[in-house]
Structure 1
Amino acid sequence: MKSSFPKGRSLSATPIRLAVVALVAGMGSAHAQTDTATQNQNAPAQQQSANSTVIPEVVVTATKRSTSLQRTPVAITALNAAALEDAHVQTILDAVNLVPSFQATGQGDHGVITMTLRGIGNDSAKTEYADPEVAMFVDGIYTPRPEGATALLFDLDAIEVLRGPQGTLWGRNSTVGAVNMQTVKPVLGKTSGSAEMGLGDYRRFGARGAFNVPLSDNSAMRVAFVHEQHDGYTDYQTFTAPSLASQRAAWAASGGNPAAFQPLNPNLFVNSGPKYNAQDQTAVRLSFLYQPTPALRWNISYERYADRGTPSMNLLQTPRAGTDLWSTLSDVAPSVRRDVDSVRSRLEYNIDPSMQLTYVAGWSRFDGEGTFDQDGGATIPTSFATGATYQADNTVNAHYTNYSHEVQLQSLGERELDWQLGVYYAAENNAMRFDIPIFNGTQQGTVGWQGSFIQPKETVDSRAAFGQATWNMGAAHLTAGARYTRDERKNIGGNGYTWNYDATVPQVPLSSHIDPRIPGQGYNPSVPSNDGRYTGSKWTGLLRASYDIDLNNMVYASISTGYKSGGLQDGGRPYGDETLRNYEIGSKSTFLGGALRWNNALYYEDFKDFQFSAPVTNPDGSHTLATNNADGAKVYGLESELAARLTPEDRLQLSFAWTHTKLGTLFGGSNDYTLPACSIPGVTTCLDVTGHEMPHAPRFSAQVMYQHVFNLADGAQLTPRISTHYETASWLSVFNLGDGDRQKAYTRTDLGLRYQASKAWWADVFVRNVSNTNVKTSAMNSFGPWMAQYLPPRTVGINAGIEF
């Protein structure tokens, strides 16, 4: 994202005048949460700087070429580095309130972020078993494992959130949208840098920095690093065992043999060490630029990311007497180890002034493991084997490797016909082992069920060719594009191994020290195995017309299609692909000489064969992650954003979204919920969710940000700001099961106060979630009481930094 100060006329901008203009403004489509620009780009620099009420321009890459956001007929929210810093955005979870129709959660055992856009997402898209509907890209490279730059958002030039299908140009799994992150690139001939440090409650400590170093006249290097840590938000409850007489009575009442009785061991419960909901993440990026001639430019970077935090915890929505919400009775110590190495490369060559050839390549490797208390201490054991359920979700190992290659050929400059062509290839090779031990009472007790899912080799092979052209006919523009994608997936050698209740084998929780594939360990392989092969292909396309009413107003209409490949699930069973047709109209408008922007988009999405994934129990008692295709889903809504410079010192931003969702025919099952017996063969429990609302899709949401700059002596500035987010109630699953499965309407407010010294150093004090509002991001009741995961509680901190 690049900023400049385009031409504009200085007009008095009173709140009354702004309101009148807003009421008569037309609809607009491409949205910028940060400051965007007027279209009069040829004004002298002195005139631009004199008009401090003009909102600076934002240049985006949504069409895989650099264009002004206000002239790009795509629904986009663009967040530059300054906006991310002002909002203290560290992860995608922090950015969702800044983007209309955008939701994200960091769920449970894997701690991987899953995203929802315009009411559509997949909460199970945190392993190789399910793909997201919202694709993540870093420097234009698809990132199937959202870690590294996507986890910490460090040293970024911009984040662009593209709403609506982006399959024609962006490709894989961008069914309802895409998020593209642009890292800061090295600059030739310039030595510069910045450093920042921060402290906060929960023993928060953060540090980050970046340094640009010229290596020669035609090469440069940039080094960026970040570290963020804080203690966990979730305290441990102390376990108090019932009397021995009470324990014996409970064991006897369950039919247990008195001779097999064991007293409860309080040491099985965690009361020290790392807490759940803790952060401990570090990343470093080394970037190089080599530009031997004006026509040839090569950017390449290596990034290393390490996570040693802990997962988010399932907490009782109604705490037990004497406890608070942010506490748990846990018998599984939390742990996370995630390491990601990534290489990203972009080579650009201008064949001549009218044509550019680009080669984009990426490679990444993910390695991880973790432990998680799935039952969350939902109930208290009455004996060593009664009154509660012990369940751990343990990622013993996970190894994912992916790489991609894309070649683009496109026109340059202003032409009657703008065009681009491309070919794309991507591959993944994934392996994992995931254990679920479930015991009655405690881990001392008897086996309820336990199993291991071992997938030594799962591959993805995706190939595509695409093209897009725009005919520029004066003020009218007509765009057409198409993409052909072919996907192949293979599961090789994978299987589930289930406890066989062999009385000669000791009943101990499954752990990494036990290999269930070896006979005599107490486990049988599932029949059939997970081996299988899936192939599928699809044409997707785009047809869009836009019209420039004048320099400051544009309207557009588009029809686009999205596609997400089908695949394989446990047992080698295939599921079908998912398709979407999106209809959209909108416009973009600039008023008051560039001081006001108000942009909106109106859309209707028609899904076919929507993929629903969830963990289920089969009739034979085995557990699997199943994916089924719903008949479809209907989604429509309106998105709007307003950005205004009320005066040279006052900035206001307002966005809202109205969304309506309706699920098609689907009988859904999930082990996370208590559901009735299912009449469908092969499914134990399920619920008819036909016509239900989609999860994470509030009917209405709004965000307001206001800040004022106080100019102090010696050129210093003091800037207070307030940001408030409101949304109506929303469901947390497709089951729509009442208050426990619902986040009620809420408001969350963040405050900040920034001091900017005249000599490039600054300090920023912030309070996030001022009212300490508890906001649920997921829910479950499979262990009896309703439980949920939550956004962070109130946090307070200070950051200070210097630029040089």
Structure 2
Amino acid sequence: MSKVFGTKPNTKLLLPLAVSAALISTGPAVAQTLEEVIVVATKREQGVMDVPLAITALSGNFIEETNLNDVKDLIAYTPGVSGNSQDSYIDAVSIRGVRTQDFGVGGDPSSAFFKNDLYEGRNGSAVTSLFDVERAEILRGPQGFLFGRNSIGGAFSVHTRKAEIGSNDAFIDFDFGQREHAVFEGAVNIPVSDNFAMRLAGYSSHEEGFAKNVFSGNDEIDHSKKAIRWSTRYESDALSIDTVVDWEDRKQSGSMYRAIDSGDIWDALDGYIVDDTTVNGNNQQIDSDLEGGDADIGDLLTIGVFVEYDLGFATLNSNTGYKDHDYYYSEDYDGTSLNINNFQFEQSGQYFQQELRLTSTGDGPLNWYTGVSYYDEDLDAEFNAIGSEDLMCQYYLNYYAETYGYEFYSGCSDYYTDFYPSSDGNLVETGMLKGKYTGWAAYVNLDYQVTDELMASVGVRYTKDDKDFGILVPEPDSYLGPYFTYGFATDEYIEDSKSWSDTTTRFALTWTPNDDAMFFANYTQGFKSGGFGSFWIEDAQGVPPEVAQTGITQADGFRPGTFKPEQMDSYEIGFKTSYLDGAGNFDLTAFMYDYTDAQVIQYVDVGDTFSARVLNAGKTDGMGVEASTTVAISEYTTLYLSMGYLNTDVTGLGDPDLDDGVNESLCSIDVDQEGDGRGCEGSRIFWAPKLTGAAKLDIDVPVDHGTIATSFEVSYEGERGGAWEGNREGIIGSYAVANLRVGYESDNNWYVQAYAENLFNEFTWDGYNANGGIIPSHFFGPMRPRTIGIRTGISWD
């Protein structure tokens, strides 16, 4: 493993990888021709090896065989992509280091999720289960020219199986494993007439918890999900109409955290809190009171209508979508057995989208597509931060006590002579948010065949986003008042409206010297609109209210805080080829980008307390390489390999803006202050590993009346974490997860399979948050342990 990925060897994986290497070196010159995945990334059906883009395409069979659960599981097999987590949030997903860093609702995701070309939305609504899938396309880099919505980091695009006229295929799959793991998936295609068909697909999944909570003795991180999809298709000579109604109910745990009981942030907490701060259990366990409960509950409904009409000179496509969702989330964010900070979030929203697109169908040297898109989103959300009043008093009063030489305080009543606790002893701070977001875009892309081998492309897109936003912060029912989360209270919604627009361009060259090779070079501009902060307000000069100010109205001159758009210039060169007479394919992409004004949430000093703000963080220079290959080593053996390398350099993080009395620096350590290489200027993006990789070895051996099918899979991520300052206590080490599957597939279309996922019981955390103040730094996750199970199913044609 160390020779492949450059990290500490995992001796458990050496034998399977050595076998893979031996098979490659001894394979025949001609094995079997690979079946290529057909994609529509460029608005035309093409084999994935003919698309001049950095794209990973995974077939429905690959997704089924690898037992991927939801859309974020695609991350494991995509080079340059990381940040899977076990909740319905997408703010940890990183494509080439570009990540959504705001868990509020006033901005937009940096990585967009689409299903059947319809935008899936934001935290709580974008993550859906993978079932009855035709293929998934993961595109890296800015994608504003390929979808109705802008996507500055990249895009996940899942296509479910359509209803098929004339077919009556069907299948049923069952999956049973440890911890009461039980999954059902099935679908049936119904040919109603010569030009109309329907397809029904259903899915359910259940599993009990696996993360030991030493505080309660319970096993956390469980789930129970169910979904159903109804699709139809109508065809005539020139017209086709597809419809989809997709509903999913998700009930699962919120993220689980373990506080890091070392480092400066923890030492401050331990020094100021009088209560016992011990984090019990080992470093792979949870010690959480879950005072506010834990939940990740979503009810998602999507309706789509897709019309295609052949005009002769061009094809007209109309994509219409409507999504309604309700989402509730709760977690114990502090990661300790103390009632420091419990986070609750409730969201409901409706989203309408319409895209019209014309794609040329001529045989001449010029091909083109052009389109317009529109969206309308209504959103309501509520945040609650809940924590013990006494613990708040202990931390912040003792912070000042130490500063000014006073005696330490054991609680609120030890300092406030007239203190009276709330009914449950908690400070509950609430923020109520509403958003009305609309936008439209127009784009055109031209491809000109300069010679038989050389094609030049140019694209232009105009984007305009309008946002109406309001924030209401009721005064807490606590003696302490608004202090910790918001630091202010309002008597009414504080509202504002803003618009952001931009024109972006794309230039590309594609050279195809022969039928087996392609070279491409792309320059693409990326844009992500600005937005409103979910946790602060400010006046026209950017100055926040006084600490604990209450009764604020619109007439006081305050407005919701805002942040600027993000911009990117992305450069790519790539190479794709087939080899071994079609038995293998290989693609390689090298990239670099200039990424400015990244929207990053951070707690900043506003005088007597801290405020959560979304800052525009300097400039990131990124570069890297991504590669993958699939090769049929022999008649019975196929190998998939992928790897990604990312190097980033971030500047402009340590420059505070003191004009309004607010220190908006993202960094707390100067460049040379520590003398150990830590510092902000020139630091790398800490949440994205430098190395990612994956491998899948399939060996299918024919036997009487069937096939013995064996699959060995490995996914790898390098070291990550540590915050901008490189905090060593927050580093998550590199890891590799292996899965093994062995089964029998009958010629009569039934199969049975035994599997061990996370075969060697590898442990890691999904991610790390630095935090500060009363909230300690913590890891979140953890990874699902080894799971042994059995799958079986049958299909009909």
Per the shorter chain, which TM-score range?
Answer: 0.7 to 0.9
Distance 1:448 1:617 in 2: 24
1:635 maps to: 622
Query: Structure 1 residues 414 and 19 mapped into 2: Cα distance closer, same or farther (>3 Å)?
Result: farther
Distance 2:76 2:154 in 1: 16
Distance 1:684 1:467 in 2: 39
1:537 maps to: 501
1:329 maps to: 288
Distance 1:463 1:765 in 2: 49
2:203 maps to: 226
Task: State the AA in 2 paired with 1:556.
Answer: F
Contact 1:358 1:407 in 2 (8 A): yes
Task: State the AA in 2 paired with 1:208.
Answer: E
1:155 maps to: 132
Q: 1:691 aligns with which of 675, 682, 694?
A: 682
Matches within 5 A, 1:640-789: 640-667=627-654, 681-683=661-663, 686-687=666-667, 689-714=680-705, 716-731=706-721, 733-738=723-728, 740-780=729-769, 782=772, 783-784=775-776, 786-789=778-781
Could you list the per-position Cα deviations for residues 297-329 of structure 1 after superposition, in whole angstroms to 9, with x for gaps in the alignment? 000111111112111200246795555723333
Could you list the per-position Cα deviations for residues 709-740 of structure 1 after superposition, in whole angstroms to 9, with x for gaps in the alignment? 121112x11111211223321226444321x3
Which stretch of the first structure deviates more once superposed, 464-473 or 87-96? 87-96
Matched, 1:89 2:53: no
Query: Structure 1 residues 112 and 554 mapped into 2: Cα distance closer, same or farther (>3 Å)?
Result: closer
Structure 1 residue 627 displacement after superposition: 1.1
Contact 2:256 2:286 in 1 (8 A): no
Matches within 5 A, 1:132-147: 132-145=109-122
Task: State the AA in 2 paired with 1:337.
Answer: I
SS at match of 1:390: coil
Query: Structure 1 residues 322 and 153 mapped into 2: Cα distance closer, same or farther (>3 Å)?
Result: closer
Contact 1:585 1:601 in 2 (8 A): yes
Matches within 5 A, 1:148-227: 150-227=127-204
1:579 maps to: 567
Q: 2:249 aligns with which of 306, 309, 327?
A: 306
Query: Structure 1 residues 442 and 283 mapped into 2: Cα distance closer, same or farther (>3 Å)?
Result: farther
1:128 maps to: 105
Query: Structure 1 residues 159 and 186 mapped into 2: Cα distance closer, same or farther (>3 Å)?
Result: same
What is the TM-score normalised by the length of structure 2? 0.81
Q: 1:351 aligns with which of 292, 296, 311?
A: 311
Contact 1:490 1:532 in 2 (8 A): yes
Task: State the AA in 1 paired with 2:140.
Answer: R
Distance 1:641 1:218 in 2: 40
Distance 1:682 1:303 in 2: 46
Distance 2:126 2:462 in 1: 29
Distance 2:684 2:474 in 1: 36
Task: State the AA in 2 paired with 1:120.
Answer: V
Which stretch of the first structure deviates more once superposed, 551-560 or 567-576? 567-576
2:541 maps to: none
SS at match of 1:106: coil
Matched, 1:435 2:384: yes
Matched, 1:422 2:386: no
Could you list the per-position Cα deviations for residues 253-312 of structure 1 after superposition, in whole angstroms to 9, with x for gaps in the alignment? xxxxxxxxxxxxxxxxx566xx53111111111111112x12100001111111121112
Task: State the AA in 1 paired with 2:134.
Answer: D
Structure 1 residue 785 displacement after superposition: 6.6
Query: Structure 1 residues 399 and 678 mapped into 2: Cα distance closer, same or farther (>3 Å)?
Result: same
2:446 maps to: 469
SS at match of 1:95: helix
Distance 1:684 1:538 in 2: 26
Task: State the AA in 1 paired with 2:288.
Answer: L
Contact 2:768 2:777 in 1 (8 A): no
Task: State the AA in 1 paired with 2:780.
Answer: A
Task: State the AA in 1 paired with 2:462.
Answer: Y
Structure 1 residue 129 displacement after superposition: 3.0
Which stretch of the first structure deviates more once superposed, 359-368 or 720-729? 720-729
Matched, 1:367 2:317: no
SS at match of 2:682: coil
1:341 maps to: 301
Q: 1:485 aligns with which of 452, 463, 475?
A: 463
2:340 maps to: 390
Query: Structure 1 residues 475 and 198 mapped into 2: Cα distance closer, same or farther (>3 Å)?
Result: same
Matched, 1:106 2:85: yes
Query: Structure 1 residues 542 and 529 mapped into 2: Cα distance closer, same or farther (>3 Å)?
Result: same
SS at match of 2:581: helix
Matches within 5 A, 1:219-298: 219-238=196-215, 276-291=220-235, 293-298=236-241
Task: State the AA in 1 paired with 2:240.
Answer: R
Structure 1 residue 74 displacement after superposition: 0.6
SS at match of 1:631: strand
1:590 maps to: 578
Matched, 1:74 2:62: no
Distance 1:53 1:451 in 2: 63
SS at match of 2:652: coil
Distance 1:617 1:527 in 2: 25
Distance 1:432 1:483 in 2: 31
Query: Structure 1 residues 282 and 405 mapped into 2: Cα distance closer, same or farther (>3 Å)?
Result: same
Gaps of 5+ in 2: 1-19, 262-277, 393-410, 413-420, 538-559, 669-679
Query: Structure 1 residues 61 and 114 mapped into 2: Cα distance closer, same or farther (>3 Å)?
Result: farther
SS at match of 2:61: helix
1:796 maps to: 788
Structure 1 residue 529 displacement after superposition: 5.8
Query: Percent identity of the aligned residues?
Result: 21
Matched, 1:609 2:597: yes
Contact 1:477 1:547 in 2 (8 A): yes
Gaps of 5+ in 1: 1-13, 23-50, 239-269, 380-387, 511-515, 517-522, 670-676
Could you list the per-position Cα deviations for residues 41-72 of structure 1 after superposition, in whole angstroms to 9, with x for gaps in the alignment? xxxxxxxxxx8611112211111221122221
Query: Structure 1 residues 284 and 734 mapped into 2: Cα distance closer, same or farther (>3 Å)?
Result: farther
Distance 1:667 1:400 in 2: 37
Distance 1:303 1:780 in 2: 34
Contact 1:276 1:311 in 2 (8 A): no
Distance 2:662 2:194 in 1: 67
What is the TM-score normalised by the length of structure 1? 0.80
Contact 1:147 1:305 in 2 (8 A): no
Contact 1:393 1:435 in 2 (8 A): yes
Task: State the AA in 2 paired with 1:779.
Answer: Y
SS at match of 1:70: helix
Distance 1:770 1:661 in 2: 33
Query: Structure 1 residues 16 and 756 mapped into 2: Cα distance closer, same or farther (>3 Å)?
Result: closer
Contact 2:643 2:693 in 1 (8 A): yes
Could you list the per-position Cα deviations for residues 356-396 of structure 1 after superposition, in whole angstroms to 9, with x for gaps in the alignment? 111111110111223221222x25xxxxxxxx44321112x
SS at match of 1:330: coil
Distance 2:390 2:47 in 1: 61
Task: State the AA in 2 paired with 1:554.
Answer: M
Structure 1 residue 618 displacement after superposition: 4.2
SS at match of 1:593: coil
Contact 1:122 1:613 in 2 (8 A): no
Query: Structure 1 residues 796 and 614 mapped into 2: Cα distance closer, same or farther (>3 Å)?
Result: farther
SS at match of 2:301: strand
Contact 1:106 1:113 in 2 (8 A): no
